[in-house]
Structure 1
Amino acid sequence: MDGTYVLVCCLVSVVNINSVWTYENIAFNKSAWKQGGIYGADRAIDGRKSSLSVYGWDCVPQQHNQTAEWRVDLGGILNVHHILIQYATNNEAWVANNTLTAYFLGFSVYLSNTTNKEEGVLCFKDKIFTRATIPNPVQISCPHYGRYVIYYNNRTHPPYPKGYSKTTAGALCEVEVYGCPVQWLNDENCSLPCAMNCQSGYCHMLKRTCVGCAIGFNGPICKKNQIISTEQSQTQTNMPENSKGKICTYTEQKSWNALKRKINLHCIFYHRFRDILFTQVWLHDKSTETVM
């Protein structure tokens, strides 16, 4: 080449990009934990709920304490849309005189990137239900991204409203977390990727706006180029001297180092779409390359 820059797009790994996906239960058979030990914690994510008795094998064992906490690890930071919780009923009608309603009242649900609920998003905190009105199962909207879905309840700050139990119990029979199974996908069919320059590929589940932008970009979907300093460009992209001033982003230093040895690159950035890795590179004339 004579110094002309050529845009090359590469496609790695094959998948049917015309497929349409709907929200999946991304908690199914994942790793679960509960306060007091992990025994029985996985009963809430095994898909079994034919018997809703606390004495059976389909629900998390009931333990009466001042606090109750249970969580599921989604295996990675994923986009969540809503959460469905089925509480134990002892296979009796879910009405005000069902004693288990008192233990369910006041519960909270969090979505967090860590096992600490306080570092996450509060999806829901019950302050409105009574023993006669609390639904079961209950569906909770939580259009955010995270790795851990955490159920929490407590009886540590009395007095409590009429109908609340004196202790609580995490008698969960099933927790279903609906969202997209791949970090970079969202929308109602899990078929659209987040905008290319969203930081780490994260964007809002419904609005599709980026949570943050890769270096060099800004705006709701990170389209606008920013002027970055020489120090930033050298530190963040380790770009050759003759490519300073051009905006480049990438996600792994190893990938950049490996690729620049194979082809003469000014810069590289890539974006994942399900199992597809789209790679965009700018080639330049080897004669102008600066040795690094």
Structure 2
Amino acid sequence: MNTSRVCTPPLHRVVAVMSSWLSIRISKVFLLLLLSVPLYKPERNVALTGTAIQSTDQGHLWTANKAIDNCINQSVTSNCCALTSDEGYTQAEWRVDLGQMRTIQYITIYFRHNSASRFGGYTLFVSNSTAHLHDIVCYKDNSSKAADLQLNPTHQCPYVARYVTIYNYRENPARQTWYDKYAILELCEVQVFGCPMGSFGNGNCNSNCLESCLGGNCNANNGSCFYCFPGMFGEFCEQHCSTDCSMSTCEKETGLCQECVNGTYGIVCELDCSVNCEDKTCMKETGYCLECVAGLYGSNCTQTCPMNCQNECDRYTAVCKDALYGNMTTNSMTLPITMGRMSAMELFDSLKTESTTIYGNLETFLMMTTKEQWTFETGS
């Protein structure tokens, strides 16, 4: 009787193949982990060495320091959350003192589960004093519904600061109908990622900020400068501002001049103001003269003031500032001549006297005007 035979490899070969397959699978998983998990964090949680306080306590178990104990369990029964009192307060505040000024990069908050109605509308501040006069707002929640709130948000906050504050308040009428009546904070952990001043990077913050950074401070993640010395700009303050920038000062990111040296205008002050501008000074953006040289008016001071102006006129309306006879905006002249039984010679003499006062002599007056421009004021 013919019996079907199944070709089965020896046991040691099966084990070897399985071992090889398992090794490949494990290697692939490990490779995926390496690709998906950062090899290092660019900064560290500097809140862990700080001290925290809060405006009120909900009993002795949920004190302020529970939010910086490195426990991220978001259940109130975990005994690792900080809770302010729920007994009718309209304001609630929690603050951590980092011990010294730190270069902060971002802040991650772990709120208690199912507490959106209580912490909705919160504000995140950083500062260098406990007074709220100079607080910098890193984030303010304006969610229109509870479902939009994140229980584990991360907020970018690239500032140098010593204190981090989370604040909330309630008012009547309520800002949102779904808000709890009273202000309550329930924080299970607040992580402040950054470095000591003057350093950045690789989890241990062991790289020094560049000397080109003003004050020696830089981004805790990549070392880019917060501020530059006068005359420099760029991510690492490695470029020079234009020499046409007033006091060699320009915007850090773009290099655009904040103000121009006298006589220039434009985004990098590369253009010359008109010679018709008084002191050759003009507006940085448009090049329009701030004031005109005597005798001219207009945006660029290219138009001549009326002849009735002794020296100068308003640069926008051309009205004389020192008119000889009234404020006239055309090249005409009013001669106050007493009319009556006046002979032609008397009229000529009067005209000659008035024109000499204005133009120096009658000939100049006649040359610069026409009879249509003459206006006579009659009197008794």
TM-score, length of structure 2 as denominator length? 0.45
- The sequence identity of aligned pairs, in percent, is 28
Q: Does 1:69 align with 2:93?
A: yes
Give SS of 1:122's match: strand
Give the 3-state SS of the residue equivalent to 2:130 in structure 1: coil
**Equivalent pair of 1:86/1:138 in contact (CA under 8 Å):** yes
Residue 143 of structure 1 is aligned with which of 146, 158, 161?
A: 158
Find the residue that maps to 2:215 and give its secondary structure.
Answer: helix
Secondary structure at the aligned position of 1:135 is classed as coil
- Measured after TM superposition, the shift of residue 164 of structure 1 is 1.1
1:225-264 → structure 2 map (5 Å cutoff): none
Shift in Å, 1:174: 0.8
Which residue number in structure 2 is paired with residue 196 of structure 1? 211
Structure 2 residue runs of 5 or longer lacking an equivalent are 1-39, 242-380
What amino acid does structure 1 have at the position aligned with 2:92? A
Which residue of 168, 174, 183 corresponds with 2:197? Answer: 183
Does the 8 Å contact 1:87/1:172 carry over to 2? yes
Q: CA deviation at 1:194?
A: 2.0
Matches within 5 A, 1:271-282: none
**TM-fit CA distance, 1:210:** 3.7
More helix by share: 2
Answering whether residue 60 of structure 2 is matched by residue 36 of structure 1, we say no
- TM-score, with normalisation over the residues of structure 1? 0.58
Q: Kindly state the Cα deviation for residue 171 of structure 1 after the two structures are TM-superposed.
A: 1.2
Return the alpha-carbon distance in structure 2 between the equivalents of residues 136 and 51 of structure 1: 9
Cα shift at 1:162: 2.5
Which of 82, 92, 114 is equivalent to 2:129? 114
Other-structure match for 1:158: 173
- Shift in CA distance, 155/176, structure 1 to aligned 2, threshold 3 Å: same
SS at match of 2:65: helix
3-state DSSP of counterpart to 2:66: helix
* Paired residue secondary structure (2:179): coil
Structure of greater relative contact order (alpha carbons < 8 Å, 6+ residues apart): 1
Distance 1:184 1:101 in 2: 38
CA distance in 1, matches of 2:197, 2:172: 38
| 1:86 corresponds to | 110
Q: Partners of 1:154 and 1:37 in 2: how far apart?
A: 16
Long gaps (5+) in structure 1: 1-19, 90-97, 227-292
Residue in 2 that maps onto 1:26: 46
* Matched residue type, 1:42: N
Q: What is aligned with 1:174?
A: 189
- Could you say if the C-alpha distance between residues 51 and 192 of structure 1 is closer, same or farther in structure 2, counting changes exceeding 3 Å? closer
Q: Which amino acid aligns with 1:27?
A: A
Number of residues paired by the alignment? 195
Whether the 8 Å contact between 1:145 and 1:204 is mirrored in structure 2 is no
RMSD over aligned CA atoms reads: 3.0
In structure 1, distance between residues paired with 2:121 and 2:73: 25
Q: 1:143 to 1:119 in 2, by over 3 A?
A: same
- Return closer, same or farther for 1:120/1:130 CA change in 2, 3 Å cut-off: same
Measured at CA, do residues 208 and 157 of structure 1 come closer, stay the same or move farther in structure 2, by a change above 3 Å? Answer: farther
Paired with 1:179 and 1:79, the residues of 2 have a C-alpha distance of 5
Which structure dedicates a bigger proportion of its chain to strand? Answer: 1
What is the CA distance between 1:108 and its match in structure 2? Answer: 0.9
Deviation at residue 213 of structure 1 after TM alignment: 5.2
Distance 1:206 1:45, change over 3 A: closer
Contact 1:185 1:191 in 2 (8 A): yes
Counterparts in 2 of 1:113 and 1:52: CA distance versus 1, 3 Å: same
* Secondary structure in structure 1 of the residue aligned to 2:97: strand
Is the Cα–Cα contact under 8 Å of residues 110 and 117 in structure 1 kept in the other structure? Answer: no
Q: Is the 8 A contact 1:59 1:174 kept in 2?
A: yes
Identify the range of structure 1 (185-194 vs 24-33) with the bigger mean alpha-carbon deviation: 185-194
1:127 maps to a residue whose letter is N
Structure 1 residues 139-169: Cα deviation after superposition (integer angstroms, max 9, x where no partner) = 1111222111110111136331231111111
Contact 2:84 2:92 in 1 (8 A): no
Q: Rate the CA distance shift 1:86–1:129 in 2: closer, same or farther, 3 A.
A: farther
Partner of 2:79: 57
